[in-house]
Amino acid sequence: GENVEQHPSTLSVQEGDSAVIKCTYSDSASNYFPWYKQELGKRPQLIIDIRSNVGEKKDQRIAVTLNKTAKHFSLHITETQPEDSAVYFCAASKGRSSGTYKYIFGTGTRLKVLA
């Protein structure tokens, strides 16, 4: 069945360093890949997303890259700050003719930024 694998499960970095989280999806029909950040006790919130017709997308200190051939995508956070500490989830979705409808999530990465 559809599956999204996410690595690593935990990641500790020094403040100011970069962090990279990787996901691999199984369904080649997937065409939309959002990333969510979840702070302790709160709901997941969308931080960046990428569509299958784009290889890379940036938004200030965060970026996402997509390799459709290898079926993997990655989240890059540069110049990490303590407030980046959270659990990050990747997801993959494929659309019906009218758009995306079903999302499969990775198991999450707990990022700790050490001051």
Partner 1 sequence: DAGITQSPRHKVTETGTPVTLRCHQTENHRYMYWYRQDPGHGLRLIHYSYGVKDTDKGEVSDGYSVSRSKTEDFLLTLESATSSQTSVYFCAISDPDRGISPLHFGNGTRLTVT
For the CB of residue 68, give the shortest distance to partner 1 in the complex, in Å: 16
For the CB of residue 85, give the shortest distance to partner 1 in the complex, in Å: 17
Query: In terms of CB distance, is 78 or 100 closer to partner 1?
Result: 100
Q: Contact, 34 vs 94, CB < 8 A?
A: no
Query: In terms of CB distance, is 17 or 59 closer to partner 1?
Result: 59
Query: In terms of CB distance, is 18 or 59 closer to partner 1?
Result: 59
| Peptide bond connecting 44 to the previous residue in cis, omega within 30 degrees of 0 | no
Q: Contact, 111 vs 14, CB < 8 A?
A: no
Residues that bind partner 1 (CB under 8 A): 1, 6, 9, 31-32, 34, 42-46, 49, 51, 89, 91, 95-96, 98-108
For the CB of residue 108, give the shortest distance to partner 1 in the complex, in Å: 5
